[in-house]
């Protein structure tokens, strides 16, 4: 209990959640300082914190229960131990596990084929019947996709980034190999970055939020 | 492999899961050894019936182990196993709509032997008989009060205060927003304090 002399007639009290957090020591350092200062002067809040501490302590002291001695054997009798080779386990781990995952993987696999198809259709003039609505739509899409690819590639080759890649490649390796090395590096970097981003987005939010 | 298998107790959960995925029975048994007590305790406190708690705990481990290759290492193994345990238990409670609490053995026991067999003994080795009696009475009162909470509050309280899980992990286990979990815990504490107002707690 606080000193009789330090007790004042507080008219406002700390919120219940703050008192609980103080009792389980999960407030930030600054919040804890302020809360303790209030609790030292306020008998009601002090009593509430003590009541919470007593409850938490009583709950924490409750024993754990053991299952019966044959529990582990009973479980293991029903478990099918995997006999798959590590490579097979690895393969399963990389395969999508849900229908949505398979759909995403399918779309991802098809995506690079679409511009290629557009190019072939544009070059050969094949595709849906030329006069029909789908045919015209397809022709427009094929032309737009091809135009996008050609213009995009031209813009990239003309950019300072490309020049920097070529120059750096040439400086590092020498000769014309620099160009192909730069292209290979770029081709590797793009999917690796995408993979890293996906991993980052799938990682759950950090497990700690309470600063002390 | 044989040498490292001997040190299974020092391996992390993730290492053990990797070994289990490769078919190591010792890894399974080590995981069982680590989690059978907390998982069984959680389930027992939820259903208040030893026999049923054993069945649910067994089902939890069988499901986890038979789907070990689906474990996502982005999450803690403990979160995964507690999540499966709580889902199974809550489903069972909803199906049965548990009306009452019994710390003194199974409600389904029909003979003295069955009551004896299904009763949980709560004892600590470092107390004298008088202290033990008081402590046991208090413990029983707290257990009974926990048993009277709504299943969601009970689950959150047990995970937070008895299993000492952080709020974020409880939110993952219960598949609820963090704010909802905090509200459940706050309300559960309040109800426990009201129910235990007449005791030393």
The reply to whether B83 and B138 lie within a common domain is no
For A78, the closest chain B residue by CA position comes to B62
In this prediction the ipTM stands at: 0.73
Between A70-79, A100-109, A114-123, A200-209, the lowest mean confidence (pLDDT) is in A200-209
Q: What is the pTM of this model?
A: 0.58
- Containing H/E element for A135? helix A133-157
A123-181 pLDDT per residue, tens: 666 555 556 677 777 778 878 888 888 888 888 888 888 888 777 777 776 666 666 77
CB contacts of B190 in chain A (<8 Å) are 16
Tell me, what's the pLDDT at A191? 86
Q: Is residue A74 part of a domain?
A: no
Q: Is residue A66 part of a domain?
A: no
Res. A18: pLDDT tops 80? yes
User: Which of B74, B103, B132 delimits the end of a domain?
Assistant: B103
The radius of gyration of chain A from alpha carbons, rounded to an integer in Å, stands at 33
Domain extent, residue B41, equals 9-103
User: Which of B70, B103, B136 delimits the end of a domain?
Assistant: B103
CB contact under 8 A, A72 and B120: no
Output phi, psi for A37, to 5 deg. Answer: -60, -40
CB contact under 8 A, A75 and B62: yes
The reply to whether B127 and B201 lie within a common domain is yes
Give the mean model confidence (pLDDT) for residues B58-77: 92
Q: Tell me which residue in A16, A65, A205 faces B120 most closely, judged by beta carbons.
A: A65
Tell me, what's the pLDDT at A105? 86
A20-73 pLDDT per residue, tens: 999 988 898 889 999 999 999 999 999 999 999 999 999 998 988 999 999 999
Q: Is residue A79 part of a domain?
A: no
Q: How many domains does chain B have?
A: 2
| Distance (Å) from the alpha carbon of B56 to chain A's nearest alpha carbon | 11
Chain A interface, best mutation among B31, B142, B161, by max A CB count within 10 A: B161
Under 8 Å between Cβ of A82 and B21: yes
Could you tell me the CATH number of the domain that includes residue B201?
1.10.10.10
**Residue B37 has which token pair?**
């007590």
Tell me, what's the pLDDT at B188? 95
Q: How many domains does chain A have?
A: 2
For the stretch B41-64, what's the b/e string if a residue is b when 16 or more beta carbons lie within 10 angstroms of its beta carbon? bbbbbbbbbbbbbbbbbbbbbbbb
Could you tell me the CATH number of the domain that includes residue B59?
1.10.1740.10
The reply to whether A118 and A41 lie within a common domain is no
Q: Is residue B150 part of a domain?
A: yes
CA neighbor of A73 nearest in space, from B25, B16, B43: B25
Tell me, what's the pLDDT at B136? 64
Domain extent, residue A163, equals 110-202
């Amino acid at each position: 209990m606080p000193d009789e002399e330090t007790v004042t007639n507080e008219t406002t009290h700390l919120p219940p959640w703050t008192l609980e957090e103080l009792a389980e020591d999960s407030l930030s350092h600054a919040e804890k300082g302020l809360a303790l200062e209030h609790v030292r002067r306020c008998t009601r809040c002090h009593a509430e914190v003590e009541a919470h501490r007593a409850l938490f302590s009583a709950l924490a002291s409750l024993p754990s229960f053991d299952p019966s001695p044959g529990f582990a054997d009973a479980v293991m009798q029903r478990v099918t131990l995997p006999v798959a080779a590590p490579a097979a386990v690895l393969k399963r781990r990389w395969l999508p596990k849900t229908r949505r995952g398979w759909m995403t993987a399918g779309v991802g696999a098809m995506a690079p084929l679409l511009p290629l198809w557009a190019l072939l259709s544009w070059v050969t003039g094949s595709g849906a019947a030329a006069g029909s609505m789908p045919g015209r739509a397809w022709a427009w899409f094929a032309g737009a996709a091809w135009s996008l690819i050609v213009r995009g590639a031209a813009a990239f080759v003309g950019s300072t980034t490309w020049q920097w890649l070529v120059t750096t490649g040439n400086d590092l390796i020498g000769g014309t190999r620099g160009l192909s090395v730069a292209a290979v590096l770029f081709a590797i970097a793009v999917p690796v970055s995408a993979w890293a981003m996906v991993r980052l987005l799938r990682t759950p939010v950090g497990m700690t939020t309470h600063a002390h | 492999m044989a040498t490292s298998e001997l040190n299974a107790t020092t391996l992390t959960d993730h290492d053990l899961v990797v070994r289990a995925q490769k078919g190591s029975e010792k890894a399974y048994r080590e995981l069982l050894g680590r989690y059978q007590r907390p998982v069984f305790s959680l389930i027992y406190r939820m259903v208040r019936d030893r026999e049923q708690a054993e069945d649910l705990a067994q089902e939890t481990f069988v499901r986890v182990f038979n789907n070990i290759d689906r474990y996502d290492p982005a999450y803690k193994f403990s979160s995964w196993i507690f999540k499966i345990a709580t889902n199974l238990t809550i489903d069972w409670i909803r199906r049965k709509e548990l009306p009452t609490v019994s710390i003194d053995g199974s409600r389904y026991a029909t003979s003295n032997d069955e009551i004896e067999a299904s009763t949980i003994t709560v004892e600590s080795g470092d107390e004298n008989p008088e202290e033990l009696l008081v402590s046991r009475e208090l413990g029983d009162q707290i257990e009974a009060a926990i048993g009277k909470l709504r299943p969601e509050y009970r689950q959150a309280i047990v995970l937070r205060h008895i299993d000492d899980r952080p709020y974020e992990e409880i939110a993952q286990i219960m598949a609820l927003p963090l704010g909802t979990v905090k509200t459940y815990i706050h309300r559960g504490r309040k109800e426990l304090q009201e129910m235990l107002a007449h005791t030393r707690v």
